[in-house]
Amino acid sequence: MMIPASNPLASYRTRKEAIDKAVLKVLENGWYILGKEVAAFESEFAAYVGCIHGIGVGSGTEAIHMALKACGIGAGDEVITVSHTAVATVAAIEAAGAVPVLVDIEPDYFTMDPDKLESAIGPRTRAVIPVHLYGQPADLTAILDIARPRGITVIEDCAQAHGAIYRDKTVGAWGDMACFSFYPTKNLGAYGDGGMVTTNDPTLAQHCRILREYGWTERYISSTPGGNSRLDELQAAILRVKLPGLDADNVRRVNIAELYNRLLDNTGLTLPKRRPQASHVFHLYVVRSSRRDTLQTFLKECGIGTLVHYPVPVHQQPAYRGRLHCGDRMEETEKIALEILSLPVYPELTETEVHAVARAIRKFTEENDD
């Protein structure tokens, strides 16, 4: 592709000297798992989010798994989340032994519909996982107002929303715990897998630290059943280099989104909407088109990469179809799955490239105008 859908290599090249230096330092230090770099990054990232504790783990999926286990959620417990999300969200719930209950989304913002959440709560509901999808915060006030009086744990899925702000706080600082992914294409991405759990609760934080390494409270002594989910020193060192630039990268993403908004006006596409009193950090710039597949093919022929996040809702996936409980009809989820398309958006994308994407879309619109 002349213009790829994502470009983590460009992110590396902009910070190559600092990243290479950080990696070499770790290699020469000789400590590669849960060392000083991880501890420093945990502290720095937690402070960025506005939390006291950060626990580095192996991936964003494992972050959700560890958070659920730390909260004591397991066999027979129901956890409510959305079907319009990466399968990882639901896979983590099942890995913890819990039962996923899926609800529909708001049509404008693609995040959990609080009304559908309330109607899905039952006697076995123990937790809710709102997903801040595409960089857009979910309606946390409404969700917390429903969950807190009922004693339901709230675990934020922030895998696509590093640095997004809802009202007066960064996402990740609202729930009982929050989970981040550092997959290479994320707003804050490593060059391998990595994840983080954030919380202000010292007991939950300590439980999470024990669970991520075999249940050890001292080396080789497992006080509780645990697993292996550790952020490594190399990825932590890389993320420490990139974290100070996260806000500037997010501003660049927002500027690109605003340019797209201007250039794609009157093209027949439905452009992204932003929730009031929230900052969207545009991990993805997602449009809607009734001719999505034809448009995607046309853009590919123009050398422009696009992706669909996500083409098949979780409740319709072969692995889950017919065996997950859905709190209500998935009308909005199923509708948008046929229409959504993610256009290129990353800090290194140039204005010239944004104009090229827009020109191609306008050409498609002119050639296919009814």
Q: Which CATH number does the domain housing residue 27 bear?
A: 3.40.640.10
| pTM metric for this prediction | 0.97
pLDDT recorded at residue 370: 62
Domain identity same for 172 and 266: no
**Do 220 and 98 lie in a common domain?**
yes
Do 235 and 268 reside in the same domain of the chain? no
For residues 287-305, one letter each, b for 16 or more C-beta atoms within 10 angstroms of the residue's C-beta and e for the rest, the string is bbbebbeebbebbeebebb
Residues 221 and 303 in one domain: no
Say if residue 37 is in the same domain as residue 93.
yes
The residue behind tokens 């140039």 is 350
Same domain, 29 and 85: yes
Alpha-carbon span 143 to 275, nearest angstrom: 15
* Structure confidence at residue 30 (pLDDT): 95
pLDDT digits (tens, 9 = 90+) for 119-141: 999 999 999 999 999 999 999 99
| Residue 203 shares a structural domain with residue 94 | yes
Query: Is residue 297 domain-shared with residue 350, that is, in the same domain?
Result: yes
Which among 244, 266, 287 is the end of a domain? 244
The confidence score (pLDDT) of residue 321 equals 87
Looking at the structure, do residues 226 and 95 belong to the same domain, yes or no?
Answer: yes
pLDDT at residue number 272: 98
Residues in CB range of 236: below 8 A, 6 or more apart: 37, 38, 40, 41, 42, 56, 194
Residue 3 lies in a domain: no
Does residue 216 lie in a domain region? Answer: yes
Question: Both tokens of residue 291?
Answer: 């001719």
Kindly state the tokens that stand for 167: 């009202």
Per the CB < 8 A criterion, the answer to whether 46 and 39 are in contact is no
Examine the domain organization and report whether 237 and 298 are in the same domain. no
pLDDT for residue 102? 97
Residue-range definition of the domain harbouring residue 19? 8-103+110-244
Residue closest to 312 by CA, chosen among 329, 293, 290, 336: 336
| Residue 252: inside a domain | yes
Residue 328: the pLDDT is: 75
Overall number of domains in the chain: 2
Identify whether residues 168 and 55 lie together within a single domain.
Answer: yes
Q: Does one domain contain both 164 and 55?
A: yes
Last residue of a domain, one of 244, 263, 283: 244
CATH number of 315's domain: 3.90.1150.10
* pLDDT of res. 101: 97
Q: Could you say which of 244, 267, 296 is where a domain stops?
A: 244
Residue type, 239: L
Cα–Cα distance, 84 to 205 (Å, whole number): 29
- Peptide bond before 310: cis, by omega within 30 degrees of 0? yes
**Per-residue confidence in pLDDT tens, the chain, 370 aa:** 699 999 999 999 999 999 999 999 999 999 999 999 999 999 999 999 999 999 999 999 999 999 999 999 999 999 999 999 999 999 999 999 999 999 999 999 999 999 999 999 999 999 999 999 999 999 999 999 999 999 999 999 999 999 999 999 999 999 999 999 999 999 999 999 999 999 999 999 999 999 999 888 888 888 888 899 999 999 999 999 999 999 999 999 999 999 999 999 999 999 999 999 999 999 999 999 999 999 999 999 999 999 999 999 999 999 998 888 887 789 999 999 999 999 999 999 999 999 999 999 999 999 987 6
Q: Is the dihedral of CA 318, 322, 327, 332 positive or negative?
A: positive
